[in-house]
Amino acid sequence: MIGDEAAAREWLKTLPEFDALAERRTERLISLLSEENRRQNLISAASLETIWRRHVADSAQLLTYVSGDAAPWLDLGTGGGFPGLVLAILRPEMRILLVESRPQRADWLRRAFAELDLPSVEVHGEPLSRIPTEPVRVISARAFAPLDRLVALSARFSTSDTIWLLPK
């Protein structure tokens, strides 16, 4: 268990994907998010103090549950970019589909991934029901919907090889 911000940053350094560029991009993501959080509630203000532990490390740990190519990765209800943008920072070549139906948040996600130079990220700023079906390797969601509704809405993207990562 990661106990504090320093421990979260140290843990991230053990990941082969967390190189100097990933660290700079993560710090920039946090800066962008902190600034935008004043305009819209992307994450709770209180969790900004523990963002490395509660959001960054929590997102990054999902990579430890997949091996090899995890693309495409479908992240439902991305909100402030967790876990989707953190995963894209760690694996910038991996195609990641971010689903965020709230237009203002989707616009912010687009600005963030452009500024972070993450060209493999796609933001779908509409309800999941309007997104064309395609098979994905991984489906993740942190706070998307109750589990039964989440599965019902997203099952059409799943195959027998899809990994579901639902840290709820």
Rounded (10°) angle between helices 20-36 and 103-115: 150
| pLDDT level of residue 68 (50, 70, 90 thresholds) | confident
pTM: 0.94
CA dist list (Å): 4 to 9, 54, 106 = 9, 9, 30
CA dist list (Å): 23 to 9, 45, 70, 90, 166 = 9, 22, 21, 9, 25
- Return mean pLDDT, the chain: 95
| pLDDT (tens digit per residue) in 79-132 | 999 999 999 999 999 999 999 999 999 999 999 999 999 999 999 999 999 999
| pLDDT level of residue 143 (50, 70, 90 thresholds) | confident
Peptide bond into 167 cis (omega under 30): no
